[in-house]
């Protein structure tokens, strides 16, 4: 079955450490996205990529970094510069990123807790 796989599902980090969240899709989608979800705030866009080797900042990119070296992979690194990284992180993909009609397909999410 096609879909998006995120790992790990749960992650604990000490302050000052960088962590990388994995996102893999086998849907052959061109566009991929990272969202952050906090209680009562909906989903906020961190980074997105419309094509391999290209990505753009979203609304809350500070303290995060991404890469898109392969079509199926879009890892997110939460750096020590991110002031409040405890959150639920969702990866999504769509057929392409140039049409408003695109439906997002989501992974099951990764919950990051900073100790």
Partner 1 sequence: AQKVTQAQTEISVVEKEDVTLDCVYETRDTTYYLFWYKQPPSGELVFLIRRNSFDEQNEISGRYSWNFQKSTSSFNFTITASQVVDSAVYFCALTNRGGGFKTIFGAGTRLFVKA
Q: In terms of residues, how long is the chain?
A: 115
Contacting partner 1 within 14-43 (CB under 8 A)? 33, 35, 40-43
Sign of CA pseudo-dihedral 23, 29, 35, 37: negative
According to the binding rule CB under 8 A, does residue 108 interact with partner 1? yes
According to the binding rule CB under 8 A, does residue 2 interact with partner 1? no
Q: Which is nearer to partner 1, 77 or 102 (CB)?
A: 102
H-type alpha helices, the chain:
none
Q: Which is nearer to partner 1, 19 or 90 (CB)?
A: 90
Q: Which is nearer to partner 1, 57 or 70 (CB)?
A: 57
Residue 35 near residue 46 (C-beta atoms within 8 A):
yes
Residue with tokens 């000052």: 16
| CA separation, residue 12 to residues 4, 17, 36, 62, 111 (Å) | 22, 10, 16, 20, 8
E strand or H helix at 34: strand 31-37
According to the binding rule CB under 8 A, does residue 81 interact with partner 1? no
Q: Which is nearer to partner 1, 57 or 81 (CB)?
A: 57
The correct pick among 22, 65, 73, 105 for binding partner 1 (CB under 8 A) is 105
Binding positions for partner 1, rule: CB under 8 A: 33, 35, 40-45, 48, 58, 88, 90, 92, 97-109
């Amino acid at each position: 079955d096609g879909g998006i796989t995120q790992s790990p599902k749960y992650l604990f980090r000490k302050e000052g450490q960088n962590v990388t969240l994995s996102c893999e899709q086998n849907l052959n989608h061109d566009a991929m996205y990272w969202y952050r979800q906090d209680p009562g705030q909906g989903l906020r866009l961190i980074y997105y990529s419309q094509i391999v080797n290209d990505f753009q900042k979203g609304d809350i990119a500070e303290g995060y970094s991404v890469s898109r070296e392969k079509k199926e992979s879009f890892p997110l690194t939460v750096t020590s510069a991110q002031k409040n990284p405890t959150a639920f992180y969702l990866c999504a993909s769509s057929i392409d990123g140039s049409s408003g009609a695109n439906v997002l397909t989501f992974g099951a999410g990764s919950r990051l807790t900073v100790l």
